[in-house]
Structure 1
Amino acid sequence: MAVDSITFSADCEKCFGLCCTALSFDRSDQFGHDKLGGEPCQFLERDFRCRIHARREDLGYSGCEAFDCMGAGQRASAAFASLNWRQDSAVSRRLYARFSQLLLLQEMRQALVTAGTLDLPDENHAQRRDILARIGAEADGMAPDVTIAARDVLAEGKAFLRSLAPGLLD
């Protein structure tokens, strides 16, 4: 898949409200209440719609507005669509773990796309494109679980980015 704006676009219509369920947050100026990871937000409806969506900022939930999963939510939801994650806590934990890994993949993918704008030697761009292709395969695949391949390519991407600017990413 070519990397374009669709690659990083969140499609909330195709997601199980994972940002509102899988993630945790603490009461602050960005979130109006504490929420544990794995617990649905008090404003999340059964159809995965937010009861306060139009009033989030006014009610103290600017963190919700600022968050962007970059497409990790719909990817994880698609991989788990046929599984009984609502009734089986073991499956829901797998879903949340895969969502977290997909968030990392999408963040790394975006960083590597951005690195493509740098004036780098051809061999660095070739290495970047190779890592980017493997990250794309992991992020766009339908694996319903955290994968070792994703973990490994994330580590490789991090090492590659660090090699571009020693000391900046430590």
Structure 2
Amino acid sequence: MDDVIFTADCEKCFGLCCTALSFERSSQFGHDKLGGEPCQYLASDFRCRIHERREDLGYGGCEAFDCMGAGQRVSAAFAPLNWRQDSGIARRLHARFSQLLALQELRQALETATRLDLPSDLHTRRLALLRDVAEDADSLTVDVTATGQAVLNEGRTFLRGLAGSVIA
């Protein structure tokens, strides 16, 4: 598996995990936060003001989360847009981040499937899905895409179908 594809680079991200996602106060998060709103500890430079003390302050969920590289991909695509001043652009940014996060999760599952002893037709289909995921996930598209949604649907169906092949 190519770790570069799945490595989050927080230095190249707008703190999307701290803005786009929601969480509820729990043992993993010290306060409630709605999706689309910045975390109260997110600084203006998109860095965490409590980074070194997250776990001690009850934010172990932040430590556990990994966007698998979706954050820097979306941030690069939206960099020239004024998403801070335009809530419509910000909503598009958050929606695309959610889609790319799902695409990265699918990509990782399809990569992990290389460890399976798949028949050649399933292996060929897995490779085709990986190409489709890469085409959408690695583009600088700024909107949720129909092709991304289609490959997510196809990929999930493919992975569910593998269960029968692996168990048999």
TM-score normalised to the size of structure 2?
Answer: 0.96
Q: How many residues align?
A: 165
User: Are 1:52 and 2:50 an aligned pair?
Assistant: yes
Structure 1 match to 2:22: 24
- Which of the numbers 104, 128, 131 marks the counterpart of 1:130? 128
Structure 1 match to 2:140: 142
User: Are 1:162 and 2:156 an aligned pair?
Assistant: no
Q: Aligned-pair distance for 1:139? A: 0.5
Aligned AA (1:145): D
Structure 1 segments unaligned to the other structure (5+ residues): none
- CA distance in 2 between partners of 1:47 and 1:14 (Å): 11
State the percentage of identical aligned residues: 68
Q: Aligned-pair distance for 1:127? A: 0.4
- CA distance in 2 between partners of 1:78 and 1:59 (Å): 31
- Which of the numbers 94, 99, 102 marks the counterpart of 1:101? 99
Spell out structure 1 runs of 4+ moving beyond 6 A: none
Q: What secondary structure is seen at the aligned counterpart in 2 of 1:90?
A: helix
User: Are 1:118 and 2:116 an aligned pair?
Assistant: yes
- CA distance in 2 between partners of 1:39 and 1:22 (Å): 7
Structure 1 match to 2:36: 38
Structure 2 match to 1:90: 88
- Which of the numbers 55, 64, 74 marks the counterpart of 2:72? 74
- CA distance in 2 between partners of 1:55 and 1:158 (Å): 37
- CA distance in 2 between partners of 1:29 and 1:162 (Å): 32
- CA distance in 2 between partners of 1:79 and 1:143 (Å): 6
Q: Aligned-pair distance for 1:165? A: 1.0
Q: Aligned-pair distance for 1:123? A: 1.0
RMSD: 1.1
Aligned AA (2:73): R
Aligned AA (1:127): R
